Structure 1
Amino acid sequence: MTGTACVCWLLGCLLACAPLVNAQDPLPSPDLNGETVVVYNPDFSQSRELAEYYAEKRGIPQDHLISLACPINDSMTRQEYDNLLRKPLFEALVRRGLWRLGQQEIKDPTTGKTMPAMTVAESAVRVVVLMRGIPFQIQRDAQNPKNTQEDEASVDSELCLLGLPRQPIAGALRNPYYGQDMRFQMFQGTPGLLLVGRLDAPDSDTVKRMIDDAISAEQNGLRGRAVIDLAQKTGAYQEGEDWLTRSAILFRQKGIPVYVDKAEAVLPDHWPLPDTAFYFGWYTTNASGAIASPSFRFQTGAIACHLHSFSGAALRSPDRHWVGPLLRQGAAAALGNVFEPYLSLTVHFDILNQRLLEGYTLAEASWNATPVLSWMNVVCGDPLYRPYAKGPGSSMGEGRDRDYALYQGTALRHPGEDSRELKRTLTSLAETRSKPHMLELTGLLSASEGKNAEAIDLLEHALSLYVIASDKARAHLYQARLYLLENRPSEAKATLQKMIDDPDQKDLPAAQAARLIHSQIP
């Protein structure tokens, strides 16, 4: 991702980044369902059926479903966008009484002169849901544009500005909601601004599953682990590493166990990542490694993003780029880019995760974390999805879900930088209740803090209590990776060999990862 020129432009011309605030209890829940419209393509198979299914599940009025015939391809020209989407949708919102127009004095961005214009004065719609079948790319018109002055865009990002005065289409435009410390219904600055989400995926069954999973996670709680896959990038790419690092710290503070991979390459094939509720990583062109392995499946309601320039460029493909494969693997939501966005203009992971944990919807959190509009970004998932509407750790659940709830509740009662007392409490809880899984989660906490030797001991303690082969295999692999980080290759190799030789572990998917790593150790 070419970010250097963009950073200078961004800092000089575009943004005054609002400071992050500490995560807090979820804010009161304004109901956005009645302020949501659903747009579908009658010429695309099952687009209408999916729109009706979603509207029923979310209680969206039938007169908020809007049919707009448009190409069934992934992309459309700028002229097609204007004539088949932008103008008809604007007119439909006015005609249905969802927008009231008023005259306003605006400044022409080209001439600098002030002129009267009809703009949205009052709005009864804040969220637009684009169903599978609505194109997601607007093709480039300009020939050889300068960097950051490209005129291609995602349909979704362009529609966010539907109710605002027309602006030049070349380049990105400042997002007035970026970094604002408030729910979108409280944001009064621009009545015509919209939050646009997309229920789209490689197939219709996946879209239905995304809808159902989001509602299930809201009702039952989103529990599990966060996976942060660093790429050890520096220089112009350091910003992305910083977002990931801050996200890991945030998850840790909110009592969500974090697996942080510090290797440059993506996590290897068949690397065990159970109960993954959040995944954030970078930087490969196509889905690969552990997340793409046939044995991997996301936790119900999971939110995922792999940062890459074209991560969402083929979001209806099950195996190209990242958004489609992430949804295929069970994520309820995945964020991406349909064209080259430049690093600074993509979604900022740290803000996104903070807002989600504060109780914002997926659409609110995503666009609050995205500095510009009329650009390349897409949010695939139910835009009304609020994984923490009831607050983190609001229900206990059963089995391993209960372990995550106990871990989170304990962590929230032990805030602060010094985690020693927290780890003592977790270890005692695990021992008295015979919960080796809790010991493993505590080991992940130590590892995320860089205390690898301590994490190795905790995993050894878990291994002494685990009875299920897949749990033992996972603990062995995690131990081996930590031994390598500690520059103890012989112990890493011995741990992997023990796993490979175990008749109960040698045929598990994780054993393939063990053999690969074993072969790479001198």
Structure 2
Amino acid sequence: MTRSIAICLLTAVATLATAQDHAGSERVVVVRNTRSAASRTIAEDYAQRRGAAIVDVTCPDAALDATSETIPHADYLTSIATPLRVWLASHPGVDYIVLTKGIPIRVQGAPRGVFHGQLALDSVLAALGYEEDATAVTVDVTDANFGPTYHGRPWANRFWNSAAPFRHATCGGYLVTRLDGYTVADALALTTRALAAAATLEAGTAPAGTVLLDVCPSAGMGDPARQPHALVTADHRPHQDVLIAGESAWGDWNADMKLADGRLRARGLASRLETSDVFQGMPGLMGYASWGSNDSHYDAGAYRALGFAPGAIAETAVSTSGRTFLPTTGGQSLLADLIAQGLSGGKGYTDEPLLQAIASPSILFDRYARGWNLADSFYAASALVGWQDIVIGDPLCRGYPERP
């Protein structure tokens, strides 16, 4: 009897998820690397469950080894960017590009990159068309703490802090996300969790998980009223670069978490602002932000004890949280660990982005709590494109019902 009930419940959830799985599919394309078994499996699964179109590319299989996670810029242009541009030219209604495990995460030798041209491949794709747009704003980034080769020229994200959901026709560029993790199973689970979250919303059940915002007290606390900080200000002159010559104060990101907490509470949602020296691990979360291994009291055990409800999203202020999606040891805390622990979507960085590039918690969780999808929420909260950013998850994933 117990087994029969369980089967019925699983069937009901699957039915609800299937009823939603093609909504918005005309706005999405998933990219399949023909040389990668992992990419083929994930892309075909996503296309079947979401009804998205597939575009094929041919490049080294990044699911096999860490070296293949990086691709020379010239090869990126011929094997990935060009096929996508050709396809997108005849599909103007597409807003979201979904990459898959097996496609490189990093471009090397890019003219606008740091450390001899390194950029996140995903973020470079997100800026498609910016180069040809005379109104696009270049951000000139340097930081003496990282040496003379740390000089990059990303773009100011035109969708940053937008009050309206994304449309390529309005903002230019694309919102690029990735289905990835340590394993193919981890990557496939991202779509499964997005559909489970959709089933919860379709059933009229409110998400009950808490958003945990874990402040690092030793970084100080800025003024929440001055957050989030805009790179492109009202007095910006056309064709003038925005200059970043060093990292912003860490206390500002703490203040942004405090602002996010206030906004979530004002909506009647469960939020916990952790201001003690204890690095927290909690189960059943709907959202998470912390300093990860940059926290002066970081606890790897607590990080690995974090658990997530379907639809949960996360951001950590960690410079290289997205440096690999293959099993590894050592180094800073990784986004891939949280994916393996049940996360539905998150943001990571292939190489040093500076704190200015980390997603604003107050924007991220405000938009997501309004019922915006995962891609819109992360990109609205992110100041730069053509930089070091990687957004993981099904772009159409929603954790909350739509509301003003």
Name the TM-score, length of structure 1 as normaliser: 0.58
The yes-or-no answer on 1:153 pairing with 2:119 is yes
Larger Rg: 1
1:438-457 superposed matches below 5 A: none
- 1:150–1:170: 8 Å Cα contact kept in structure 2? no
- 2:110–2:119: 8 Å Cα contact kept in structure 1? no
Instruction: Choose from 56, 81, 84 the match for 2:48.
Output: 56
Separation (CA, whole Å) in 1 of partners of 2:266 and 2:166:
25
1:422-441 superposed matches below 5 A: none
Separation (CA, whole Å) in 2 of partners of 1:356 and 1:330:
18
Equivalence for 2:18: none
1:316 and 1:287, CA in 2 relative to 1: closer, same or farther beyond 3 A?
A: farther
- 2:127–2:155: 8 Å Cα contact kept in structure 1? no
> Which structure exhibits the higher relative contact order, with contacts defined as CA atoms closer than 8 Å and separated by 6 or more residues?
2
Equivalence for 1:385: 397
Equivalence for 2:147: none
The yes-or-no answer on 1:258 pairing with 2:271 is yes
Separation (CA, whole Å) in 2 of partners of 1:317 and 1:353:
29
Separation (CA, whole Å) in 2 of partners of 1:87 and 1:170:
23
Equivalence for 2:104: 135
The yes-or-no answer on 1:181 pairing with 2:163 is yes
Separation (CA, whole Å) in 2 of partners of 1:287 and 1:91:
47
- 2:372–2:402: 8 Å Cα contact kept in structure 1? no
Separation (CA, whole Å) in 1 of partners of 2:111 and 2:276:
40
1:283 and 1:387, CA in 2 relative to 1: closer, same or farther beyond 3 A?
A: closer
TM superposition shift of 1:44 = 1.4
Which whole-Å deviations, capped at 9, do the CAs of 1:318-361 have from their partners, x for residues lacking one? 76632110101111112111111111122111111111111211
Alignment-mate amino acid for residue 239 of structure 1 = D
Equivalence for 1:298: 308
- 1:306–1:322: 8 Å Cα contact kept in structure 2? no
Q: Secondary structure at the match of 2:29?
A: strand
- 2:257–2:273: 8 Å Cα contact kept in structure 1? no
Equivalence for 2:300: 288
Separation (CA, whole Å) in 1 of partners of 2:116 and 2:386:
10
Aligned residues: 323
Separation (CA, whole Å) in 1 of partners of 2:82 and 2:310:
37
1:287 and 1:210, CA in 2 relative to 1: closer, same or farther beyond 3 A?
A: farther
**Greater shift in the superposed pair: 334-343 or 312-321:** 312-321
Separation (CA, whole Å) in 2 of partners of 1:376 and 1:230:
23
- 1:314–1:338: 8 Å Cα contact kept in structure 2? yes
Alignment-mate amino acid for residue 172 of structure 1 = P
Separation (CA, whole Å) in 2 of partners of 1:141 and 1:31:
36
- 1:32–1:126: 8 Å Cα contact kept in structure 2? no
Structure 2 gaps of 5+ residues are 1-21, 62-67, 139-150, 202-206, 223-248
**Greater shift in the superposed pair: 198-207 or 158-167:** 158-167
Alignment-mate amino acid for residue 369 of structure 2 = L
Alignment-mate amino acid for residue 253 of structure 2 = G
Separation (CA, whole Å) in 1 of partners of 2:260 and 2:301:
21
Alignment-mate amino acid for residue 387 of structure 1 = G
Equivalence for 1:365: 377
Equivalence for 1:507: none
Equivalence for 1:93: 88
- 2:348–2:391: 8 Å Cα contact kept in structure 1? yes
Separation (CA, whole Å) in 1 of partners of 2:287 and 2:401:
16
- 1:287–1:325: 8 Å Cα contact kept in structure 2? no
Instruction: Choose from 193, 200, 213 the match for 1:220.
Output: 200
Separation (CA, whole Å) in 2 of partners of 1:287 and 1:319:
16
TM superposition shift of 1:391 = 4.9
TM superposition shift of 1:289 = 3.6
1:170 and 1:291, CA in 2 relative to 1: closer, same or farther beyond 3 A?
A: closer
Which whole-Å deviations, capped at 9, do the CAs of 1:296-326 have from their partners, x for residues lacking one? 5322222122211111112333766321101
Separation (CA, whole Å) in 2 of partners of 1:128 and 1:274:
31
Structure 1 gaps of 5+ residues are 1-29, 99-122, 393-522
1:33 and 1:291, CA in 2 relative to 1: closer, same or farther beyond 3 A?
A: same
Equivalence for 2:262: 249
Separation (CA, whole Å) in 2 of partners of 1:89 and 1:204:
23
TM superposition shift of 1:79 = 1.5
Alignment-mate amino acid for residue 210 of structure 2 = R
Alignment-mate amino acid for residue 284 of structure 2 = D
Q: Secondary structure at the match of 1:56?
A: helix
1:160-239 superposed matches below 5 A: 160-166=126-132, 170-185=152-167, 188-190=169-171, 192-221=172-201, 222-232=207-217, 233-234=219-220, 236-239=249-252
Separation (CA, whole Å) in 2 of partners of 1:65 and 1:258:
38
% identical equivalent positions: 25
Separation (CA, whole Å) in 1 of partners of 2:290 and 2:195:
25
Instruction: Choose from 349, 363, 367 the match for 1:355.
Output: 367
Name the TM-score, length of structure 2 as normaliser: 0.73
Equivalence for 2:326: 316
Equivalence for 1:39: 31
- 1:312–1:323: 8 Å Cα contact kept in structure 2? yes
Equivalence for 2:58: 69
Q: Of Structure 1 and Structure 2, which has the larger fraction of its residues in helix?
A: 1
1:318 and 1:361, CA in 2 relative to 1: closer, same or farther beyond 3 A?
A: farther
Separation (CA, whole Å) in 2 of partners of 1:207 and 1:274:
21
TM superposition shift of 1:127 = 0.7
- 2:208–2:270: 8 Å Cα contact kept in structure 1? no
- 1:266–1:282: 8 Å Cα contact kept in structure 2? no
Q: Secondary structure at the match of 2:311?
A: coil
Which whole-Å deviations, capped at 9, do the CAs of 1:209-232 have from their partners, x for residues lacking one? 111111111220432111111101
Alignment-mate amino acid for residue 209 of structure 1 = A
**Greater shift in the superposed pair: 296-305 or 125-134:** 296-305
TM superposition shift of 1:56 = 1.5
